[in-house]
Amino acid sequence: MTDNRNTIIAVILSGLVLIGWQYFFNIPQMEKQRAAEQAQSELAKAGKAAPATTTPAGGSSSAPATPGATPATPNANQGAAAAVVSRDAAITASPRIRIETPRLIGSIALKGARIDDLALVKYRETVDPKSPAIVLFSPSGTAEPYYAEFGWVAASGSNVKVPDRNTVWKQDGAANLTPDHPVVLTWDNGEGLTFRRTIAVDADYLFTLKDEVVNSGAAPVTLYPFALVSRHGTPQVAGYYILHEGLIGYLGEHGLQEYSYKKIAEAKSVDFKVTNGWLGITDKYWAAALLPETTATLQARFSSQPVGTTQTYQTDYLEQPRTIAPGATGVANTRLFAGAKEARVVGLNFPFDSFGGYNKQLGLNHFDLLIDWGWFYFITKPMFMILDFFFHLFGNFGVAILLVTVLVKLAFFPLANKSYASMAKMKALQPQLAALKERFPDDKMKQQQEMMAIYKKEKINPVAGCLPVALQIPVFFSLYKVLFVTIEMRHAPFFGWIHDLSAHDPTNLFNLFGLLSFDPTQLPVIGHYLMLGIWPIIMGITMWFQMKLNPTPPDPTQKMIFDWMPVIFTFMLASFPAGLVIYWAWNNLLSVLQQSYIMRRNGVKIELFDNVKATFAGKKAT
């Protein structure tokens, strides 16, 4: 009775944990994601900003000058709040240079020379290829300004005129910016300095900028190169602890620095003095990062400040000064990554890959960490590499998941064999164990002692049955991480109704898999528990068959737990990425075949169909 009571309490507590996790964590995250997607879709369709909102116009202004002191990096988030306009209106309000590459479309504003208009043409908001392209950068004055700015800061105490956010540059020629054609901008300050900026872009997501200052005056000038990425307003984030979204950088000896929007808003400003660093702002799948020359010494900064009711965020750096003598030219080079965090482009070190992405090409400092591989990167990275290898062979990430599952099974085959062999021996000993309970019905201690003596004699490990599950946990987690954070898995189809392996199965038992025209997940209170697609059901069935391979527990409470466990896991995994559920179902099926083979080899009767038959016969009897 005591054992049954403890078991029942454990089941109740486990159920409360699952319900609490669903109610306080999963449901709010689903609502937040749904609201963000709906808002983004409405903005894209209407082409208008949300009403009754104000955001800063942006700007470039230095801190008050102190003679002899190093100047402050311009803060693009300063400035008075302005009325919000549509993105199209903000883009057409000033002359621009169009950007056209195989992966990017957008423009550079001649006023301020900001890169503030970018969309990723290869990525869409939904699985529909006709849905709007993902917008990365938007100009100041829109609902969600996000841009990169570059330039020079005069030494403190100096009155040298440098270009700022209101400066209108002139373009040499009239061609668009393409991978085959860089553009050149110039501005004369009228006091002997001519500023010249050459902007190039590659076929992926890398902008290269060369800033030159020609001093035709009579006196030397000292200028500091700067670069910044500014974002106005706190964006919607996934909110999962396994994913970082916000300010990020690998800053020399300081290593990887990650500040969420909440964390930097509380800190207000964090400064680093580094060499060989990069920094920027990252979303789940996209990022904008400043990539200065690896030999440059930087005063890098993460900062956040409110402007009106809008919180703004910025990553920036200030380089060492350039003193430009009369008749000389000062030069500063930098780069900007603005695009999708594709593993091969960013620079994950694939075996036998000579490309190496930007991390290898540019000699960057751990730029592959722009993708959040997590603490268990030593498992997650190889998992992605293997999946990516099979994807390039077969052209389908779902097939890659099935093949990786087989490889994992083969890798752990010896250990699993020992485990299943031990389970088979335990099954053969069931009559002896049942006899112990009859011999010592009221002495639990004696039962345990005699049981362990039998296990020792037969060389059986009683916890061996936990080994297959334990081995599956790191693989399960690494696959979940890959499905969740890598853009390669976003909108990756399988077969049939699965058009996105990183999203949950879109079918639902409770509307008869689409035959009824309503969404049961929208029902109040219970709606979030009514998400049950075809693949979670398949997973639950395979798990049920796997459990039926084992003998029925003699204890009624334990039998009830094992009977309901597949149902609990079916509902629990229903909201997980479809790719993960497919992996689990396929793994269960392979486990059934493997365990059946080992049991047969050990001379143990396979009672799968007998147990299944007994289950339904028992129901009929009632």
Mean local confidence (pLDDT), 525-541: 86
pLDDT, greater one: 79 or 498: 498
62-76, 162-176, 204-218, 250-264: least confident range:
62-76
Q: What is the pLDDT of residues 225-269, one digit of tens each?
A: 999 999 999 998 877 777 899 999 999 999 999 999 999 999 999
d(CA 54, CA 141): 8
What pLDDT score does 317 carry? 97
What pLDDT score does 594 carry? 83
Q: What is the mean pLDDT of the chain?
A: 82
Mean local confidence (pLDDT), 300-312: 92
pLDDT surpassing 50 at residue 622? no
pLDDT surpassing 70 at residue 611? no
Report the SS3 class of residue 307: strand
- Determine what percent of the chain is predicted with pLDDT higher than 90: 51
Segment holding 340, helix H or strand E: strand 329-340
Of 334-343, 482-491, 607-616, the range with the highest mean pLDDT is 334-343
Q: What is the pLDDT of residues 184-196, one digit of tens each?
A: 999 999 999 999 9
pLDDT surpassing 50 at residue 160? yes
- The pTM score is 0.80
What pLDDT score does 55 carry? 31
What are the residue boundaries of the structural domains of the chain, listed by start? 27-65+86-372, 382-621
Write the DSSP symbol of residue 47: -
pLDDT, greater one: 255 or 466: 255
Report residue 462 as tokens.
């009683």
The CATH label, of 3.40.50.1820, 3.40.710.10, 2.70.98.90, 3.10.310.70, for the domain at 27-65+86-372 is: 2.70.98.90
Q: What is the pLDDT of residues 372-406, one digit of tens each?
A: 998 888 889 999 999 999 999 999 999 999 999 99
Report residue 296 as tokens.
């440059």
Nearest to 478 by CA among 387, 574, 582, 572: 387
Report residue 515 as tokens.
């035959």
Report the SS3 class of residue 228: strand
Residues in the chain: 622
* pLDDT band at 548; cut points 50, 70, 90: confident
pLDDT, greater one: 37 or 319: 319
Mean local confidence (pLDDT), 499-515: 88
Q: What is the DSSP string of 585-612?
A: HHHHHHHHHHHHHHHHHTT----HHHHH
Adjacent-strand bridge partners of 303: 269, 314
pLDDT surpassing 50 at residue 52? no
What pLDDT score does 58 carry? 37
What pLDDT score does 455 carry? 73
Nearest to 223 by CA among 285, 273, 161, 265: 161
What pLDDT score does 12 carry? 57
